[in-house]
């Protein structure tokens, strides 16, 4: 007999079906709860709410497990490339050689953006944050491809939008930086792979030869893979919710970019670096800041420690820490900020206060360090996160659409005034 839970309300019993996932996670199906009982559930921040059934990413916060389409993140980070992982997330299987070649060629073919996109850059203040520009320009793709708003796109039309977005985001992302710096914008190079081309557009100048460092390309592939999906986090839930109204892929992803920009979400890696800079400016005494972090009356917070769903460790942080150590050693980087980071990390891993509260360094802590080591400026950290998260957003939007999920429409428990009569203005005190 199928498992169910019994709910007793006012002496009446209701049966709630139990749903079980392939990894044995269980949920009460409350889809008919309001119709049957008049009650809804209340779960601020959705910590106990499964908003959807998804076959893309599995995460076990207690055990520190992360898998894309069943493949452990450790194996993908070690053996795969970002473009292969993007294919895996979006299409549900590892590609054959021909499929990967075709996917990669298609993306390369679409890296140019409409020349009018360049003109939009002129409308932004030169000091604009690159995330503001990125979200606006990704949304603007809906204006350049108006057919993308149709609710009845064919499989081929969806694939074309996927390819365009994967291709153009790296050009737009690199240009946000170049524009910010007042540098000439570099056009993409179709002879380069995805990560090399991005680095070329970011760092080269028309006046000089730019050598692409394969160690940096490999670190970038790893970083993007580690960020590629994380099931129903804030930005992904945003993409699915916006997409559930049949909004275009570009519009939905642009909304996700704005969610990611928040300092409690993807903006955290920028905050980590800013925290390290503040500690350095103060004289670099990490023990002082560790004491501040422990002091209940002090507003100082250590950024990049602990995670909402990982209770013991963040599996991505383990991989990225190793990569950071390797990259720093390989590039021979000696950076005082990195010394501060290592001292904080050491304190958090050995101090009972942090151990008991499970405040271990997370993926944002190390990603900031490694991005700095490979020359990515602090303001671009969250843009890099967006670049990595894109295949996840696309896969989740596509899954939501293919499963014909209904428009998202949460309920609420109203806590405002009960009915009262309108008071004319002269009678108000």
In the complex, minimum distance from the CB of residue 76 to ligand MLT, in angstroms, rounded to a whole number: 15
The residue (of 34 and 308) whose beta carbon lies closer to ligand MLT is 308
The residue (of 95 and 306) whose beta carbon lies closer to ligand MLT is 306
DSSP per-residue codes, 38-97: S-----GGGTT------SSEEEETTTTEEEETTEEHHHHHHH--HHHHHHHHHHSSPPPH
In the complex, minimum distance from the CB of residue 198 to ligand MLT, in angstroms, rounded to a whole number: 20
Write the CB contacts of 385 (distance below 8 Å, at least 6 apart in sequence). Answer: 227, 260, 266, 269, 367
In the complex, minimum distance from the CB of residue 304 to ligand MLT, in angstroms, rounded to a whole number: 11
Bridge partner residues of 383 (DSSP) = none
Which of 129, 227, 265, 307 is labelled catalytic? 307
The residue (of 201 and 268) whose beta carbon lies closer to ligand MLT is 268
- 3 burial type by CB count under 10 A (0-12 exposed, 13-18 middle, 19+ buried): exposed
- Cβ atoms of 265 and 163 closer than 8 Å: no
* Both tokens assigned to 343: 């001292």
The residue (of 265 and 318) whose beta carbon lies closer to ligand MLT is 265
**Within a 10 A sphere around the Cβ of 357, how many other Cβ atoms?**
13
- Largest alpha-carbon pair distance within the chain? 80
- Cβ atoms of 14 and 7 closer than 8 Å: yes
Tokens 């910590």, residue located: 47
The residue (of 61 and 377) whose beta carbon lies closer to ligand MLT is 61
In the complex, minimum distance from the CB of residue 290 to ligand MLT, in angstroms, rounded to a whole number: 23
In the complex, minimum distance from the CB of residue 308 to ligand MLT, in angstroms, rounded to a whole number: 5
Which whole-number Å values give the CA distances from 343 to 285, 286, 290, 352, in the listed order? 9, 7, 10, 15
- Cβ atoms of 298 and 290 closer than 8 Å: no
Tokens 């389409």, residue located: 69
Element (H, E) at 16: strand 12-20
Site residues (vs ligand MLT, CB under 6 A): 230, 233, 265, 308-309
CA angle 129/132/134 to nearest 5° reads 105
Distance, in Å, from the CA atom of 37 to the CA atom of 43, rounded to the nearest integer, reads 18
**Minimal CA–CA distance to 135: which of 227, 270, 225, 266?**
266
The residue (of 33 and 309) whose beta carbon lies closer to ligand MLT is 309
Cα 167 to its chain centre, rounded Å, is 18
In the complex, minimum distance from the CB of residue 229 to ligand MLT, in angstroms, rounded to a whole number: 8
Directed axis angle between helix 97-109 and helix 194-203, to 10°? 30
298 catalytic, yes or no? Answer: no
Distance, in Å, from the CA atom of 138 to the CA atom of 375, rounded to the nearest integer, reads 24
229 catalytic, yes or no? Answer: no
Using the 8-state DSSP alphabet, how is residue 189 labeled?
A: -
Sign of the C-alpha dihedral, residues 222, 234, 391, 268?
negative
* Both tokens assigned to 216: 């940096």
In the complex, minimum distance from the CB of residue 422 to ligand MLT, in angstroms, rounded to a whole number: 44
In the complex, minimum distance from the CB of residue 232 to ligand MLT, in angstroms, rounded to a whole number: 8
The residue (of 240 and 265) whose beta carbon lies closer to ligand MLT is 265
**Within a 10 A sphere around the Cβ of 301, how many other Cβ atoms?**
11
The residue (of 317 and 400) whose beta carbon lies closer to ligand MLT is 317
Catalytic site positions: 307, 364
């Amino acid at each position: 007999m199928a498992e169910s839970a019994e709910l007793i309300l006012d002496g009446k019993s209701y049966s709630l079906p139990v749903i079980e996932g392939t990894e044995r996670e269980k949920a009460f199906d409350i889809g008919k709860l309001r119709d049957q009982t008049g009650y809804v559930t209340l779960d601020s921040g959705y910590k106990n709410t499964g908003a959807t059934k998804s076959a893309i990413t599995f995460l076990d916060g207690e055990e520190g497990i992360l898998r894309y389409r069943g493949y452990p993140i450790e194996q993908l980070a070690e053996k795969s490339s970002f473009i292969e992982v993007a294919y895996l997330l979006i299409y549900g299987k590892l590609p054959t050689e021909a499929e990967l070649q075709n996917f990669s060629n298609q993306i390369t073919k679409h890296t140019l953006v409409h020349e009018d996109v360049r003109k939009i850059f002129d409308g932004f203040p030169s000091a604009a944050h690159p995330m503001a520009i990125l979200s606006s320009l990704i949304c603007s793709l809906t204006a350049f491809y108006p057919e993308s708003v149709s609710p009845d796109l064919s499989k081929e039309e969806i694939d074309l939008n996927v390819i365009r977005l994967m291709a153009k985001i790296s050009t737009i992302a690199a240009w946000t930086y170049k524009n910010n710096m007042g540098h000439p914008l570099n056009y993409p190079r179709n002879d380069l792979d995805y990560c090399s081309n991005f680095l070329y557009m970011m760092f080269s100048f028309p006046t000089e030869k730019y050598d692409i460092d394969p160690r940096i390309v490999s670190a970038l592939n790893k970083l993007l893979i580690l960020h590629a999906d994380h099931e129903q986090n804030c930005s992904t839930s945003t993409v699915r919710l916006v997409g559930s109204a049949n909004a275009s892929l570009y519009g939905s992803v642009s909304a996700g970019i704005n969610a990611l920009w928040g300092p409690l979400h993807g903006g955290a890696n920028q905050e980590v670096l800013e925290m390290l800079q503040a500690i350095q400016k103060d004289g670099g005494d990490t023990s002082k800041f560790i004491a501040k972090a422990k002091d209940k009356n002090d507003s100082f917070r250590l950024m990049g420690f602990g995670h909402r769903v990982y209770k013991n460790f963040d599996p991505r942080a383990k991989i990225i820490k190793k990569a950071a150590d390797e990259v720093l050693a390989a590039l021979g980087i000696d950076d005082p900020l990195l010394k501060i980071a290592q001292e904080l990390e050491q304190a958090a891993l050995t101090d009972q206060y942090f151990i008991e509260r499970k405040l271990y360094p997370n993926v944002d802590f190390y990603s900031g360090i490694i991005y700095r080591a490979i020359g990515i400026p602090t303001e671009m950290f969250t843009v890099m996160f967006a670049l990595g998260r894109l295949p996840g957003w696309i896969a989740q939007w596509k899954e939501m659409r293919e499963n014909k999920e209904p428009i998202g429409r949460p309920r609420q428990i109203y806590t405002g005034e009960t009915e009262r009569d309108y008071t004319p203005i002269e009678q108000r005190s």
